[in-house]
Amino acid sequence: MPKPTLWTENGRVFIIDQTRLPLEYVVEEIHSVEQMWSAIRALRVRGAPAIGIAGALGVWVAIRDADAKTTEDLLVIVEKSSEYLAAARPTAVNLFWALERIKKHALQNASLPPDEFKKTILALAEKMIEEDNEVCLALGRYGASLLKSGDRVLTHCNAGSLATAQFGTALAAVYYAVEREKKRIEVFADETRPLLQGARLTTWELSEAGIPVTLICDNMAADVMRRGWVNAVFVGTDRTVRNGDVANKIGTYGLAVLAKYHGIPFYVAAPLSSIDLSLSSGDEIPIEQREAEEVTHIAGHRIAPEKINVYNPAFDVTPHELVTAIITEKGIVCPPYSETLPALFKLDPHS
Ligand code: MRU
């Protein structure tokens, strides 16, 4: 079973520092909301569902240590720390989803005495961890139904255990197929430039789980598809909108085009917390632009000349026409997504 990515112990908050993997396994205790903001911003905790939970835990840390005498004062801290944490990263909608849930819960419990109020915020953040585990297991069960023994899956970035509380989104399908259904599945992992989440994280966690994985550079995906080595592409998403357009790690769009050309199904695993029905098309998704150094340097070493222009979007948008199906915890949906995605929310208690 994968190790948890972030967790609590008697109100203390811990994350795995993902920037140190795979060379070192380092646990970081979060002591302040500022430290959580920087952990999210610097990708020490990353992946859409994990970022959402990290946001909720960040608010907990802010009120836990606050020198507030009244619940009214604590409510102000909930509001301010949520606003602050929401500015850490713009694309993964899970962060806003989790912070909205915490704020709503805080307002609903505003009549509690301060100590009880604090406890109920922690309880909700911990519940989000439990729910995430259940959601990921459901994604795994549905996703595995799309795989048969002997299949080879291509994935991009990291949509495994490290991107969630524990069980992953897109890779949950692979874990489930292998561990529970005893299917033989192999994975090709794109290295995922510039920050190499595929090379550093996906290969690490699949190896830990005993699942055969082959690392390829991003520019090798076409070749392995052309050779007939890929039966399906499975990716996660940071935000999927009403018409089924999918924001995910930069490079995902190119893979979807390649998959279409080669007649390979392209599946997206999307918990409902990553689906944003308030946006009607992918053009409206805010795409995070990151520092030039992530492209001009690798592991702290400059690999490009100084004073050049750099374009470094963290995500791209895959048009819905290229998405074969979207796997959610409520089932697998197919086009037309503008009808099938909203229908899922009629069943969701948090919508
Ligand atoms: O910039 P990151 O590492 O947070 O990006 C993560 C991804 O793009 C994942 O594929 C995505 O969060 C979906 S899977 C949980």
CATH number, domain at 36?
A: 1.20.120.420
- 231 and 183, same structural domain? yes
In a domain, 65, yes or no: yes
Last residue of a domain, one of 89, 119, 136: 136
Q: Which long-range contacts (CB under 8 A, 24 or more apart) does 335-342 make?
A: 335/244, 336/244, 337/242, 337/243, 337/244, 338/242, 338/243, 338/244, 338/280, 341/240, 341/242, 341/244, 341/275, 341/277, 342/242, 342/277
CA of 92 to the centre of ligand 1 (A): 8
Report the separation in Å between the CA atom of 49 and the middle of ligand 1, taken as the mean of its atom positions.
9
Residues 129 and 175 in one domain: no
Q: Give residue 121's identity as a one-letter amino acid code.
A: I
pLDDT at 349 over 60: no
Looking at the predicted structure, is the pLDDT value of residue 351 above 60? no
Distance in Å, CA 188 to ligand 1 centroid: 17
The pick from 248, 276, 312 for probing ligand 1's pocket by mutation, whose C-beta has the most ligand atoms within 8 angstroms, reads: 248
DSSP-derived secondary structure letter, 69: S
What is the arithmetic mean of pLDDT over 319-342? 98
49 vs 132: CA distance, rounded Å: 7
pLDDT at 347: 63
Both 191 and 75 in one domain: the answer is no
User: Among residues 94, 121, 136, which one ends one of the domains?
Assistant: 136
Residues 257 and 162 in one domain: yes
98 φ, ψ (degrees, to nearest 5): -70, -40
Model confidence at 315, in pLDDT bands (50, 70, 90)?
very high
Out of 157, 246, 255, 329, mutate this one to test ligand 1's pocket (max ligand atoms within 8 Å of CB): namely 157
Say if residue 265's pLDDT is above 90: yes
294 and 339 in a single domain? The answer is: yes
Q: Ligand 1, atom 6: nearest CA belongs to which residue?
A: 47
Q: Are 274 and 238 in contact (CB under 8 A)?
A: yes
Residues 30-36: contacts with CB within 8 Å, 24+ apart? 30/57, 30/58, 30/61, 31/61, 31/65, 32/61, 32/62, 32/65, 33/58, 33/59, 33/61, 33/62, 33/81, 33/84, 33/85, 35/61, 36/61, 36/85
Is there a domain that residue 172 lies in? Answer: yes
Q: Is the peptide bond before 2 cis (omega within 30 degrees of 0)?
A: no
CA of residue 237 to ligand 1 center, whole Å: 7
From 108, 136, 164, give the residue that closes a domain. 136
264 belongs to a structural domain = yes
- β-partners of residue 153 are 187, 232
Which atom, in ligand 1's list, is nearest to the CA of 46? 4
Asked if residue 217 belongs to a domain, the reply is yes
Atom index in ligand 1 nearest the CA of residue 159 equals: 14
The residues assigned a catalytic role are 238
What is the best residue among 233, 234, 249, 268 to mutate for testing ligand 1's pocket, by most ligand atoms within 8 Å of CB? 249
Same domain for 114 and 221? no
Instruction: Indicate if 299 and 221 belong to the same structural domain.
Output: yes
d(CA 56, CA 341): 25
Joined tokens for residue 52? 């959402």
| pLDDT mean over 125-151 | 98
Q: What does the mean pLDDT of the chain come to?
A: 97
CA of 46 to the centre of ligand 1 (A): 7
Residue 318 pLDDT: 98
Cα(282) to ligand 1 centroid in Å equals 16
Residue 226 CA: distances (Å) to CA of 147, 193, 220, 231, 275: 20, 22, 10, 11, 32
Determine the structural domain holding residue 202 and report its residue range. Answer: 140-347
Number of domains the chain contains: 2
Q: How far is the CA of 59 from the centre of ligand 1 (A)?
A: 22
CATH number of the domain to which 235 belongs: 3.40.50.10470
Residue 72 identity: E
Q: Are residues 64 and 121 in the same domain?
A: yes
Q: Indicate whether 1 belongs to any domain.
A: no
Ligand 1 atom with the smallest distance to the CA of 47 is 12
pLDDT at 346: 87
**Residues 26, 31, 37, CA angle at the centre, nearest 5°?**
85
Ligand 1 atom 5: residue of nearest CA: 47
Domain-embedded: residue 24: yes
Query: C-alpha distances in angstroms, 71 versus 107, 110, 167?
Result: 10, 6, 35
Most informative mutation of 237, 239, 328 for ligand 1 (most atoms within 8 A of CB): 237
Together in a domain, 322 and 244: yes
Residue nearest to atom 8 of ligand 1 (CA): 249
For residues 128-151, give the mean pLDDT.
Answer: 98
- The pLDDT tens digits of the residues spanning 269-295 come to 999 999 999 999 999 999 999 999 999
**Do 96 and 158 have their domain in common?**
no
Which atom, in ligand 1's list, is nearest to the CA of 274?
A: 13
CA-to-CA distance for 52 and 84, rounded, in angstroms?
A: 14
Same-domain status, 238 and 145 = yes
Looking at the fold, whether 148 and 25 belong to one and the same domain comes out as no
Provide residues with CB under 6 Å of ligand 1: 43, 46-49, 92, 157, 159, 163-164, 169, 197, 236-238, 248-249, 314
**pLDDT tens digits, 180-197:** 999 999 999 999 999 999
Nearest atom in ligand 1 to the alpha carbon of residue 164 is 15
**Residues across the chain:** 351
Which pLDDT does position 178 carry in this prediction?
Answer: 98
Q: Residue 299's pLDDT is what? A: 87
pLDDT digits (tens, 9 = 90+) for 18-65: 999 999 999 999 999 999 999 999 999 999 999 999 999 999 999 999
Q: For residue 157, which atom of ligand 1 is closest to its CA? A: 10
Cβ pair 92, 239 in contact under 8 A: yes
Residue 350 has pLDDT above 70, yes or no: no
* Complete DSSP assignment for 153-205: EEE-S--SGGGSSSS-SHHHHHHIIIIIT----EEEEE--TTTTHIIIIIHHH
Residue at 122 is within a domain: yes
Q: What pTM value is reported for the model?
A: 0.96
